[in-house]
Amino acid sequence: MSTDLILAIDQGTTGTTCLLVDADLQVRARATREFPQHFPQPGWVEHDPGELWHSVLAVISEVMRASGVDAARIAAIGITNQRETSLVWERHSGAAIHRALVWQDRRTAGVCEALKADGHEAKIRQRTGLVLDPYFSATKLAWVLDHVPDARARAARGELAAGTIDTYLVWRLSAGAAHVTEPSNASRTLLWPLQGGGWDRELCELLRVPIEVLPEVRPCTARFAVTRDVPGLPDGVPIHGIAGDQQAALFGQACFAVGEAKCTYGTGAFVMLNTGERPVPSQHGLLTTVGWQIGERTTYCLEGSAFMAGAVIQWLRDGLGIITKASEVEALARSVDDSGGVILVPAHAGLGAPHWRPYARGLISGLTRGTTRAHIARAALEGIALQISDLLLAMAADTGAPLRGLRVDGGAAANDLLMQLQADFLGVPLARPTMLEATALGAVFMAGLGVGLWPDTTALSAAWKEDRSFTPGPPTPQRSELRRAWDRAISIA
């Protein structure tokens, strides 16, 4: 029997998606399962690892049942994951010692401020390409080790393992046989030097994360482990491709050439631009990060993140009750010609790049007696698009080259009004692929390359298909005034 299928696990912030894809990139089956978010205090965001793991098992089972194919045909498993979200677990049992701290969690902002005050940020940025912010993994891991009784002593005795979600999933999928990750996730911890060479011992000591709890790092298309005791799957299926979700989306969008960029509109919105084999230091508040490592070759990227994108729409639904379903927001926003002077800054979880203000908070300005829920809905879409415009303007400044176009994906990329607003604010065309799940597709591509299902990235570029393009409209005085109002509002958020 031929092994011609890839099982992709896309473990995201609010749910897990699983795809079964064949060598012709036809999706044989798809399943998604949401899991709870936990908010113990304002600014704290946690996931229960057991709930997360059960969502993974549920979608694997559903996909295999729906596809009706023999699981022996699976050539490999690819994994992509929410980055920076981190946890610590027991080596002997696999049980987490605390809930996972999610990338949105801001509880270590004070720790980061103290490290900045002590003059450590420049060194961290120079070595890792990252800013000193609670977004990243290291201060989260240190917090867990500090706040769970006896955790540091247990870590010293070799009883604990730590990592990002990819590492935890491989541990569970392999029944504890492998404690591994790859450079795109490692580069998001504040502990991995951009030029490679292994975990940075000095940074581990500074940020108080014992190097002994960290995983082995392998290239993205390496053989990481094989399955063992996973319901619905045979033992021995290789896990052969891993990348953090945004790097996987860039890979799935076939942005293999220097200067190509994508934006993924998920819970947050994430822009990445391929800078090739040379890391480009940012002078405009962006991140320099590993895109992927294939064999001995590493590709680097510039990245900017907006913490709230699709989450803004969820907030309109769940927090304000302006809509009852996320899909209603486009029609509501289209029912008015403009936002009526309303500006919505989606800083509910602080501001990421290029501002990096963890204590910023969401802001709505310009309200009048004539403001309706439609104006607020349109302002929310504009706020998402304007955040992305800020990021891409910063990228153009760092690279010295104007943006030529942008590939878009993620759930909110299905919103035609949002995409048109984005094209208008950027002044460049947008290309939306037929498969919006570019993150999962990136995991498919990497796993397939790892087992030889596709020979090289040229074959993957040929497989990328466009669904629709969005051409920017001509500049208008109204758009210029909106941009000025946005700049004023974001400065005080």
Tens digit of each residue's pLDDT (9 = 90 or more) over 74-101: 999 999 999 999 999 999 999 999 999 9
- Amino acid residing at 463: A
Read off the pLDDT band of 435 (50, 70, 90): confident
Per-residue confidence (pLDDT) for residue 1, from 0 to 100? 53
Q: How far apart are CA 8 and CA 81, in angstroms?
A: 11
Closest CA to 295 of 389, 156, 381, 196: 196
- List, in order, residues 6 or more apart from 276 with CB less than 8 Å away: 258, 299, 300
Which tens digit of pLDDT belongs to each residue from 318-373? Answer: 999 999 988 899 999 999 999 999 999 998 888 877 887 878 888 999 999 999 99
Beta strands in 129-202 (DSSP E): 160-164, 180-181
pLDDT average, residue stretch 211-235: 94
Cβ atoms 221, 415 nearer than 8 A = no
Per-residue confidence (pLDDT) for residue 40, from 0 to 100? 94
Determine whether 270 is exposed, middle or buried from the number of CB atoms within 10 Å of its CB (0-12, 13-18, 19+). buried
Residue 333: both structure tokens together: 């926003």
- What is the phi/psi pair of residue 383, to 5°? -65, -40
Report which of residues 436 and 382 the model is more confident about.
Answer: 382
- List, in order, residues 6 or more apart from 447 with CB less than 8 Å away: 6, 8, 75, 76, 77, 78, 221, 239, 240, 241, 453
Q: How far apart are CA 394 and CA 377, in angstroms?
A: 27
pLDDT average, residue stretch 393-402: 88
Listed in sequence order, the DSSP H helices in 288-372 are 310-318, 329-334
Cβ atoms 89, 95 nearer than 8 A = yes
Query: Within a 10 A sphere around the Cβ of 125, how many other Cβ atoms?
Result: 17
* Largest distance between two CA atoms of the chain: 68
Read off the pLDDT band of 305 (50, 70, 90): confident
To 5 degrees, how large is the angle CA 7–CA 72–CA 2? 95
Residue 118 has pLDDT above 60, yes or no: yes
Torsion of CA 374, 364, 41, 148, to 10 degrees: 110
Determine whether 188 is exposed, middle or buried from the number of CB atoms within 10 Å of its CB (0-12, 13-18, 19+). buried
How much is the mean pLDDT over the chain? 91
Residue 295: both structure tokens together: 């064999």
Per-residue confidence (pLDDT) for residue 96, from 0 to 100? 96
Query: Within a 10 A sphere around the Cβ of 462, how many other Cβ atoms?
Result: 10
Which tens digit of pLDDT belongs to each residue from 249-297? Answer: 999 999 999 989 999 898 889 899 999 998 998 888 899 999 999 988 9
Beta strands in 165-296 (DSSP E): 180-181, 216-217, 225-226, 238-244, 261-265, 269-276, 287-294
Which tens digit of pLDDT belongs to each residue from 20-76? Answer: 998 888 889 999 999 999 999 988 999 999 999 999 999 999 999 988 888 889 999
The pTM (predicted TM-score) of the whole model is: 0.86
Q: How far apart are CA 137 and CA 77, in angstroms?
A: 25
Radius of gyration over every alpha carbon of the chain, rounded to an integer in angstroms: 22
Residue 2 has pLDDT above 80, yes or no: no
Q: Peptide bond before 40: cis, by omega within 30 degrees of 0?
A: no
Q: CATH number for 5-245: choose from 3.30.70.2740, 3.40.50.280, 2.40.110.10, 3.30.420.40.
A: 3.30.420.40
Q: How many CA atoms lie within 13 A of 400 on its CB side?
A: 2
Q: How far apart are CA 122 and CA 339, in angstroms?
A: 41
Q: How far apart are CA 268 and CA 46, in angstroms?
A: 16
pLDDT average, residue stretch 178-197: 93
Per-residue confidence (pLDDT) for residue 380, from 0 to 100? 95
Q: How far apart are CA 375 and CA 378, in angstroms?
A: 5
- Lowest average pLDDT, out of 356-360, 378-382, 431-435, goes to 356-360
Query: Within a 10 A sphere around the Cβ of 124, how many other Cβ atoms?
Result: 23
Q: How far apart are CA 138 and CA 285, in angstroms?
A: 20
- What is the phi/psi pair of residue 246, to 5°? -75, -35
Q: How far apart are CA 174 and CA 235, in angstroms?
A: 9
Read off the pLDDT band of 232 (50, 70, 90): confident
Per-residue confidence (pLDDT) for residue 369, from 0 to 100? 93
Length of the chain: 493
- List, in order, residues 6 or more apart from 335 with CB less than 8 Å away: 374
Per-residue confidence (pLDDT) for residue 24, from 0 to 100? 80
In order of 239, 271, 387, the CA distances from 175 in angstroms are: 13, 35, 42
Query: Within a 10 A sphere around the Cβ of 85, how many other Cβ atoms?
Result: 26
Residue 133 CA from chain centroid, whole number = 16
